[in-house]
Amino acid sequence: MSKDERWREIWMDPFLRHLTGERRLSAYTARNYQTALEAFFHYLDAETTWEGSLKNVNLRDARDFVIEQQRRVSRRTIHNYISGLRTFFKYWIRLGKIEANPLVGIVLPKLPKKLPAFMTQKQVKLLIDGPIRLLENEAITPFQAWRDRLVLELLYGAGFRVSELCDLTYGQVSFDEGVARIVGKGGKSRICPLGRVAMAVLDKWRREFAVGTAFSDPVVLSNRRKKWAPRGIQLLLKKYLALADLPMDLTPHKIRHSYATHLLDNGADLRLVQELLGHAKLSTTQIYTHVNIGRLKEAFDQAHPRA
């Protein structure tokens, strides 16, 4: 067994199984942890004498890793890497395999204060109208048009994460109540109202295009009539952004930002939005209030004679 195979089998694989099994994190999130671990372990192999044992990793190794990564990835990615590595070392400390976490006390580069990007309500309408426009021009099939319309309606109308949408089954949807019961990050459950328009599209999709509607059948299907992966939805969004002449850096998660911002714009309570988004901490949701404050100040500056 090679050194690379050994550390994967001994250290990384059990941790990843813990994430998806015990903590019930999505495969997408587990891949992010895996990326962080692989970057760190490859650095250790190339630049240190750790010899495959976590007991030999120290704060200096971690600090040098952060310095080296600043030439390769963004500051946000570095923060994500270190967050994942801290969780990794805590796991092995809890199991008694190591005694200290080398990430404790590490100083990270400061993140720029950046408000979440979002679309206007007019832009959202342009985006969501795209599939039917293509259908009317016979550029896509009815199956694709209503599938794509459903994806966009649920991303915006329910504030789903893209992984939650891919995992959505008919058993999670109450057609009588117009809600979906979602299990999000960390196994946290929440109820998502789907909205009148999204429910109408979902009902049409179920009646006319669904392959199966049993409890465990996926709602969103690929062109091959199989459960769709997040990458497929990301590529779908790019197509409709181009069609609507919208910024190509908008992502499914930024549609979620738009969902939250528009709720608050129209008077929704902050704690209600926290529940709808499935945020564990109110502080995570409060960033959207900064968006609103920024828009208020912009309107004031433009309209008030003494601004």
Which residue in the list 8, 190, 256, 257 is annotated as catalytic?
A: 256
User: What's the rounded Cα separation, in Å, for the pair 158 and 86?
Assistant: 32
42 is catalytic: no
User: What's the rounded Cα separation, in Å, for the pair 144 and 263?
Assistant: 29
Which residue in the list 18, 181, 253, 254 is annotated as catalytic?
A: 253
Q: Would you give the DSSP letter of residue 226?
A: S
Which residue in the list 43, 156, 170, 288 is annotated as catalytic?
A: 288
Backbone conformation region of residue 138, classed left if phi is above 0, alpha if psi is from -120 to 50, else beta: left
288 is catalytic: yes
Which residue in the list 185, 225, 227, 239 is annotated as catalytic?
A: 185
110 is catalytic: no
User: What per-residue string of b and e applies to 191-217 under the rule 16 or more CB within 10 Å gives b?
Assistant: ebebbeebbebbeebbeebbeeeeeee
79 is catalytic: no
290 is catalytic: no
Which residue in the list 147, 149, 262, 279 is annotated as catalytic?
A: 279
CA Rg value for the chain:
22
Neighbours of 306 (CB within 10 A): 4
User: What per-residue string of b and e applies to 39-52 under the rule 16 or more CB within 10 Å gives b?
Assistant: bbbebbeeeeebee
Structure tokens that stand for 67 in this block: 């310095």
Neighbours of 80 (CB within 10 A): 16
DSSP E strands in 86-221: the ranges are: 173-174, 179-183, 189-193
Containing 93, the helix (H) or strand (E) segment is helix 75-94
55 is catalytic: no
Which residue in the list 147, 161, 257, 262 is annotated as catalytic?
A: 161
Q: Tell me the longest C-alpha to C-alpha distance in the chain.
A: 74
Residues marked active site are found at 161, 185, 253, 256, 279, 288
